[in-house]
Structure 1
Amino acid sequence: MRFVLTLSVAMPSLALGQTANTVTGPQAATRGPADTFTGTVWVTSLIPNDSIFTTISGSVAFEKGARSHWHSHPAGQILIVTDGIGYHQIKGEPRQVIRKGDVVKCPPGLVHWHGASPGSKMTHLYIIPNTEKGIVTWLQPVTDAEYSKK
């Protein structure tokens, strides 16, 4: 006697227009706006926000000396430095040097900035989880004195 076992796997329902596997091609880089960055910065979106993954991701390429403004993320942010040498600073703490291969975890709600050093470009991937809590609150520019202070 032979038995055949059949398993049924429930798949979550997908929203209209979604497929189980989505592959997207490279997105065009856009220049970072002057109201959130100082200097020349190029931003490439990799994973757009949606209600399933509630995570966004992208790449930011900073030219020498370019930097973000002070900002915070309600659910935090993860940075993965993919090229160059730059800086990261949490408000009230010393500036840190970051290099290719470094991973930076920016805790939820803490005001910080990041950017390239004066002598090197710097590129990082960013991951912002739990976007249902909010994505980013932009604040004032990082002054030249703040940028240069060790």
Structure 2
Amino acid sequence: MNIEPTVPTSKNPPAQFAGDVWLDPIALPHESEQTMVVATVRFSPGARTAWHSHQHGQYLRITQGVGRFGTRDGKIIEVHPGQTVYTPPGEEHWHAAAPGCFMEHIAMLQNGEDPSKTTTWAGHITDDEYNGR
């Protein structure tokens, strides 16, 4: 048993995020058979991910602020602290902070056999997609 070393906060890359988004890892695999990844992710007002999907799905627990989550069918849901969003394996989606407020969530997912292919990234969402138009 050990206390995990603190990993410095990192800013997520603009290739996959629009606006300021920061990542703080909580749990990363230590052994080859471990696949769980958990991180706190903080979005500045209006910041958002690009379209993406996860090989094994993803859970997102909102801890602060108001989140917006969208799918390819145009559906957008608003999520508040204490709520958890589940995206099934392969479902393309995006997540963001609502306009005018920060949003923080805990992201939980399992790596695939090739961790570099666990998340498949696509293009950035448009302002119209973010605004539900």
2:88: which partner in 1?
Answer: 107
Could you tell me how far apart the structure 1 residues matched to 2:71 and 2:2 are?
36
Stretches of structure 1 that go unaligned for 5 or more consecutive residues are: 1-20
- Asked if 1:135 corresponds to 2:118, the answer is yes
1:7: which partner in 2?
Answer: none
- The structure with the larger Rg is 1
2:37: which partner in 1?
Answer: 56
Tell me the TM-score normalized by structure 1: 0.81
2:11 to 31, 36, 44: 31
CA contact (8 A) 1:55 1:131 kept: no
CA contact (8 A) 2:74 2:132 kept: no
Q: CA RMSD in A?
A: 1.5
Could you tell me how far apart the structure 1 residues matched to 2:111 and 2:9 are?
24
Which structure: greater strand fraction?
A: 2
Stretches of structure 2 that go unaligned for 5 or more consecutive residues are: none
More relative contact order, 1 or 2 (CA 8 Å, 6+ apart): 2
- Asked if 1:98 corresponds to 2:79, the answer is yes
Deviates more, 1:115-124 or 1:86-95: 86-95
2:22: which partner in 1?
Answer: 42
- How much identity, in percent, do the aligned residues show? 33
